[in-house]
């Protein structure tokens, strides 16, 4: 029997939570509903979900704080998180993505859009048969052990940033548009904005430290990674260019 994908719904408005749960059940998912961060933590400690729908405004610990904490925990850090919120400002979206969310959907939203986004993050999470090691200058990435090393020291890189770095390192010196990176890393759907790429590139540069200078912004075109950039001359982030 096919295992239904588990979806943890963390939403303090019971009417919205139950509506989401009903639609998830009718579309082949196994939802669990909780109403605050404490209950959400108990659920992920007991059974790891396949995806988390996380409301921003929760009683007690906020959804943003939860996402940040979960991204620091080895067991749960690769579980996709979709942030649900009524906050629509670009700065709010950036804050949610910076906290570790894989996607961001604003209320009110259509059921079909929500389902499409869930399917999209699950496609992106599907394991790929990649056990290669990529080397570029002093930077190396081992896909089989999920490690990024710089001059023999391991760097902490988030799951989306790892996929982004892997792809860039496998195609060095090539300029990649934001649209092409969305298709390759996030999947060929239409919902995620190109600004998402800028946010994750910024986070990747920060994770790489001095080696972040290897990822160059090509103004008006996109991004490329090069072994020619000197880490000692690292410049500030220009992701918004």
Token couple for 89: 């400002």
Residues of the chain below pLDDT 70: 1-2, 125-131, 187-192, 228-241
Q: E strands, the chain, where?
A: 6-10, 30-34, 51-55, 81-85, 103-106, 133-136, 139-142, 147-150, 153-155, 215-218, 222-225
Cβ atoms of residues 205 and 212 within 8 Å = yes
In 3D space, the residue among 108, 104, 102, 82 whose CA is nearest the CA of residue 93 turns out to be 104
| Residues 198/240, Cβ–Cβ less than 8 Å | yes
pLDDT by residue (tens digit) across 79-135?
A: 899 998 887 777 777 888 888 888 888 888 888 999 998 988 887 765 444 567 899
Domains of the chain: 6-125 (3.40.50.2300), 133-233 (1.10.10.10)
Half-sphere exposure of 212 (CA within 13 A, CB side): 21
Q: Are strands 30-34 and 6-10 parallel, antiparallel or unpaired?
A: parallel
Average pLDDT, the chain: 84
């Amino acid at each position: 029997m096919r295992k239904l994908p588990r979806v943890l719904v963390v939403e303090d408005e019971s009417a919205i939570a139950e509506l989401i749960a009903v639609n998830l059940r009718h579309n082949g998912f196994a939802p669990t509903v909780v109403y605050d961060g404490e209950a959400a933590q108990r659920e992920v400690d007991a059974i790891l979900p396949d995806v988390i729908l996380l409301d921003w405004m929760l009683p007690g610990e906020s959804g943003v704080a939860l996402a940040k904490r979960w991204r620091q925990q080895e067991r749960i850090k690769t579980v996709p998180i979709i942030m649900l919120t009524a906050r629509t400002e670009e700065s709010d979206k950036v804050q949610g993505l910076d906290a570790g969310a894989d996607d961001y959907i604003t209320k009110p939203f259509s059921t079909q859009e929500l389902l499409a986004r869930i399917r999209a993050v699950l496609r992106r999470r599907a394991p790929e048969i990649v056990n290669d090691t990529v080397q570029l200058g002093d930077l190396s990435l081992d896909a089989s052990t999920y490690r990024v090393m710089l001059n023999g020291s391991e760097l902490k890189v988030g799951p989306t940033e790892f996929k982004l770095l892997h792809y860039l390192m496998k195609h060095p010196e090539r300029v990649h548009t934001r649209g092409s990176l969305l298709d390759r890393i996030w999947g060929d759907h239409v919902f995620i904005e190109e600004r998402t790429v800028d946010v994750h590139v910024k986070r990747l540069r920060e994770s790489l430290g001095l080696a972040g200078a290897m990822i160059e912004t090509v103004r008006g075109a996109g991004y490329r990674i090069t072994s020619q950039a000197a880490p000692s001359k690292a410049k500030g982030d220009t992701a918004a260019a």
